[in-house]
Structure 1
Amino acid sequence: MLEKCRDTISPTTARRLTIMRQRLAGCRAPANSEGIMDVMRDIRYLQLDPMTIVAPSHTLVLWSRLGPYDVSHLEKLLWKERRLFEDWAQATSIVLTEDYSIFETLKRGFASGNSSWAQKIRKWMKQNRSFSTYVLKELSHRGPLRSNKIEDRASVGWSSSGWTSGRNVDMMLSFLKAQGKIMVAGRVGNQKLWDTTEHFLPDSVRREQLSEHEMVQRSAQISLRALGVARAEHIRRHYIRGCYHELDKVLAELEAEERVLRVEICGGKESWRGSWYVHADDLPLLHLLEAGEWEPRTTLLSPFDNMISDRVRTEQMFNFSFRFEVYAPKSKRKFGCYVMPILRGDHFIGRVDPVMDRKSGRLIIKAIHAEPNAPESEKSVQAVVNAIEELGVFLGAKEVVYNSRMPEAWRRMLH
């Protein structure tokens, strides 16, 4: 039996537990396929985003944890070994194939219920039954295929007020994926290759028939372990966001079984409101942190990094307000376009506004912003320089160019 967690932990310990569980402190995993899998089993998903202002976000999330690595290792895990696959988690994401049963359970409830959206999908799929049969046969016989290799044989077109109206092939593929019948089996650039689930999913995958309650129990523990320490609302917004049916009941059950433990977080002038949980499996790590074992790092985070995906939680725990400004008019941006927070140890100390100029091979640092009370020591600034230079190595930049917009106290070290 694991020793029970004491009732109170300090805010510093809570922050450090979160950072450790996110693999942003301590020894790095090796920068290879097994290292990627090691990290993925802790953080559990990589959010996909098409922007390449610096690099695709999912590659940056791994870089923050592994350091420079060969992205081909990730591609191999996805499309050859198939130990990872694309599905909807926090958003469209890369997730573990060993978690397939969780996502299969979620798919059983697709387009169910009486909402107008669910009824619209069910009606359209019924009207286009022959179309769905044709798509599945095409993929079964000729897959994997791009969407433009599939004929539009819809009997009734998909109608909406947005950009999806009339995109019948894309909508059919999307709904068949949501039903679990097909999967993304590869990519050519940003174009998806589609195949049937039976073709793509490895035979070795354990396809458990989970009840919804079992799925929520498993997912809630995955979410809590990835977060380190969390309130119920943080768990709800993480991993399978919004799909934790009866989460309060599930947490009560897990607490009764001593698989999760409730803690208060306070110390010094800080006291965090509400009920916070830690997972029993993280008690040994928690005890090490309380004993003073802590190996901090300095790195930059993607705007879509798992660590900061819940902006409210990030602000509460770290007193760091982060907003993604890429869609804001340039005149209204406070910090820049694709801003990457600087995490040093257990504090966010600033933000970097980078862009990778692939034509010239230069990583351009358009601006660096220090947080109030950010350290000004040579050691701290050098750690930021090292993180930026390491990003340049990962991106294959020939040169890192610093523009003049930066904290005055940091300027000497950053030039």
Structure 2
Amino acid sequence: MTHTLSRDDARRIIVRAQMLDARRPGDVVEVAEQLAVIKIDPTAVIAPAQHATAWARIGWGYEPGQLTKAVEDDRVLFEYDGTIRPISVLPLLVPRMRHWPQHARGRGWMEANARFADDVLARLRADGPLLASEIEDTAQVARQSESGWYGSNQVPRMLESLERQGRVAVVGREGRLRRWDVTERAWPKALPEYTDEDAARLLDERRLQAAGIAKERSAWTPVGAAGEPAVIDGVKGRWRVDPQALAALDDDPGGRVAILNPYDRILFDRPRLRDVFEFDYVLEQFKPKAERVYGQFAHPILVGDRFVALLDAALDRTRETLHVTALHELAPIEPEEMEMIRGEIADLAEWLGVPVTGLR
């Protein structure tokens, strides 16, 4: 059976799956279990992405130390490939790790540096956890950075390669610096084991759980055959919907205001954002200043299931204020909605421990 949904229903399913409705989660572990992936990004124009993501959902009950504790002490969450994920997802990633790297260039570099990899692993086993700067670069073959992201030292690249193979893991951070260890110490003992096929199927299900609804052949939110087929009135394409999210449509807790970091997961699938929310979001971070319309790092504002504004603001650490440069209205906003938006901006500033300036 193919379900037929209105665009409003599809929006409500997505908002609820992303924990952005009126019913707030209790802690960051609950958030990570539902979203499956929380992006780490150090660009702290207002707050780092991982903390802003948690705050947008939990609100006042969230403190940044809770995420650190869950990752480093309790080990119920883990860092992988620039994201925070729940431990329940780790066994589903392990089969894919066994096949990395899949591209010839990456395989060639790892094969040429087999002794280097052994050196890094031996050093971690003997003295870890360690920062990359504490590990010697014994690379046989250097790989030049095309993006400028890496320097000449090959240790960070090797650590990230070994991470993708499931041989080392990030176990903590000192500021922005990652502390690494071997996975036999970092990971829980006796993880469940899955075949490649079962792991891929279960990952598709977790992605759909977090998405609520996704296009059947989406490069942004690949969900395979998970869930049930659906179509959305007025929207092209075939979709997959999470049956649990569909069953909960009538149990609607209502909406609220959410200020979203540009790297928030609800914004990741840009085609879905355009199709379902009719919101064409462009992050202007990498545009020349003269070409920016809404600001370098404008935060989308969700009211209920509509994106109504973009907040151009920054935490001014010198003056210790949250300074609002502009609040760009994208759609008509009712006076009571504007009052709610202003209240959420004030709450954000209070969470940061500073006053708001510039908001008219």
Q: TM-score range by the shorter chain?
A: over 0.9
Helix, strand or coil at the partner of 1:192: strand
Structure 1: distance between partners of 2:98 and 2:16: 34
State the Cα deviation string for residues 325-344 of structure 1 (Å, max 9, x = none). Answer: 01111111010111011100
For residue 208 of structure 1, report the CA deviation from its aligned partner: 2.8
For 1:152, what is the secondary structure of its paired residue? Answer: coil
| 1:194-343 mapped onto 2 (5 Å cutoff) | 194-203=180-189, 207-234=191-218, 236-238=219-221, 247=224, 251=225, 260-266=227-233, 271-288=234-251, 293-343=252-302
Aligned pairs, how many?
A: 358
Determine if the alignment matches structure 1 residue 134 to structure 2 residue 119.
Answer: yes
Q: Contact 1:158–1:165 (CA<8 Å) still a contact in 2?
A: no
Matched position secondary structure for 2:248: helix
Structure-2 separation of matches of 1:380 and 1:121: 51
Whole-angstrom distance in 1 between the partners of 2:147 and 2:265: 29
Q: 1:43 aligns with which of 22, 29, 35?
A: 35
Q: 1:83 aligns with which of 76, 82, 97?
A: 76
TM-score by length of 2: 0.94
- From the CA coordinates, give the structure whose radius of gyration is larger: 1
Q: 1:310 to 1:6 in 2, by over 3 A?
A: closer
What is the match of residue 394 of structure 1?
Answer: 351
Contact 1:143 1:195 in 2 (8 A): yes
- Unaligned residue ranges in structure 2 (runs of 5+): none
CA contact (8 A) 2:2 2:231 kept: no
CA distance, structure 2, for counterparts of residue 354 and residue 108 of structure 1: 43
CA separation of 1:120/1:262 partners in 2, compared to 1, >3 Å: closer, same or farther?
closer
Among 318, 335, 339, the residue aligned to 1:382: 339
Are the counterparts in 1 of residues 33 and 85 from structure 2 also a CA contact under 8 Å? no
Superposition CA RMSD, Å: 1.8
Paired-residue identity, %: 28
Partner of 2:179: 193
Whether the 8 Å contact between 2:23 and 2:253 is mirrored in structure 1 is no
Cα deviation, 1:150-209, whole Å, max 9, x if unaligned, reads 111222323454533632212221211111100011111111111000111123xx5233
Name the residue aligned to 1:121.
106
For each residue in 1:361-404, what CA deviation from the matched residue of structure 2 results, as whole angstroms up to 9, or x when unmatched? 100011001113x2232x1111000110111122121x10025x
1:25 aligns with 2:15: no
- Shift in alpha-carbon separation, 1:389–1:165, aligned structure 2, 3 A: closer
Question: In the TM superposition, what whole-angstrom CA distance separates every residue of 1:99-147 from its partner, at most 9, and x where no partner exists?
Answer: 11122122111023xxxxx333333323322222121111111111011
1:150–1:169 CA contact under 8 A, matched in 2? yes
- Secondary structure at the aligned position of 1:320 is classed as coil
CA 1:174–1:389 in structure 2 vs 1: closer, same or farther (change >3 Å)?
same
2:153 corresponding residue in structure 1: 167
Q: For the residues of structure 2 that align with 1:273 and 1:351, how far apart are their CA atoms? A: 27
1:59-70 alignment runs, 5 A limit: 59-68=51-60, 69-70=62-63
> Given the two structures, how large is their TM-score scaled by the length of structure 1?
0.82
Q: 1:160 to 1:191 in 2, by over 3 A?
A: closer
What does residue 52 of structure 1 align with? 44
Amino acid at match of 1:171: R
CA contact (8 A) 1:158 1:167 kept: no
Amino acid at match of 1:147: A
In the other structure, the counterpart of 2:89 is 99
Give structure 1 stretches of 5+ with no counterpart.
Answer: 113-117, 255-259, 404-414
